[in-house]
Each structure stands twice: as structure tokens, then as C-alpha cells.
Amino acid sequence: MGKKMNGATAAGDSTREGEPLPPLSMKDFQVYNRLSVQMDQFHNHFRLVWNDLQNACAPAGKQKHPRQLILTGLAFCSQLDFHHSIEEQHVFPVLAKKMPEFRKELDLLQQHKKIHAGLAELERYLEDCRTGEAELDRAEVKRLMDAFGDVLWKHLDEEVQTLGAQNMRRYWTLKEMPGLQM
């Protein structure tokens, strides 16, 4: 038998009915944790680009050429919007069948709405800069990013945690896990 992975948290060490869950083998942990690992890889990309943009806007930061900053920012907005569209249309509806965390009225989707409001403002401003309707002001880019930064970072972390092995095993069987796609 494989090595046991306990790593249970207060919220994830029991079933929905409150019964204690047995420790997971390393193999079973990896099966249950797969979506979390995949989501974290996507989210790490967004974290890296976010930090790159923030650094480019800091007074003492590494200054990107204005066009490079604009294009990087627009790509970030587009990619995050696309990522959330896939989640909302294909991933969350499947997970919501068993996991209340992914139902529309709850926190993760409400976070998407707040993030998208901020993304839309940032994208509009950067598009105006790209077309020459506005002159790039790094402080304005930073202000627009800061308006939704806290909810974005909280969301990136909570989504990965919610997809973690200790939570997934509360709702899904080992046989069901391979059918859940990212």
C-alpha cells in the first residue's frame, strides 16, 4: 500500500454528513488533487503577469516601454477573461452539481463579477492608450489594477484550495475524478 497523505484541514477532514474521512494514499491524493494542481498552473501565469505589470507601474520598478506595457496589460485582460469564460461555461456547471462552492450565487462566481468589472475598466483604459485616445499613465494603470487586485488574489488562492484533494474527496468518488476536466 502507498504512503498515506493526511494533510486534512478543519473544513476538509470530514464528509458532507460530518463523518471522518480516512487518510488518502499518495496515489489517491494525486487523483483528488489533479484539478487543483492544474488550476494553480493557470493561476500562476496570471500571478506572474500581474506582478510584472505592477512592477512596470511602480515608480522605482523596471520600466517597460509604454507599448509593451499596454500590450502586456491587454493580453492579461483577454487571457483572464477567456479563462473565466471557460470556467463559467464548462467547468463550474459540472462541479456545481455536487459542490455548492461553484453555484452562481456563491463567492467564487461573485468574485468573477468583481474581477470582470475591474478588468473591463483596465482594458478600456489600455485600449484607449493603444489607439492614442489617452496617454499612458502608469499610476492610472496601477490604480485600476489595485481596484480589483485584492479580490483577484483572494480568488486565485481560494479556487485552487477549493479544488484541493481534501475538499474534492468530500463530493466526488475516485472513479468520478478522471471524468472531471479542466
Question: E-assigned strands of 30-75?
Answer: none
Considering the segment(s) 25-177 as one domain, its CATH architecture is Up-down Bundle (1.20)
User: What is residue 25's three-state secondary structure?
Assistant: strand
> Helix %, strand %, coil % for the chain, to 5?
70, 5, 30
Which stretches of the chain are assigned E, i.e. beta strand? Answer: 4-5, 24-25
Domain parsing of the chain, residue ranges: 25-177
The per-residue pLDDT for range 99-145, each reduced to its tens digit, is 988 887 667 778 889 999 999 999 999 999 999 999 999 999 999 99
Q: What is the structure's pLDDT at 15?
A: 60
Cβ burial, residue 45 (10 Å; 0-12/13-18/19+) = middle
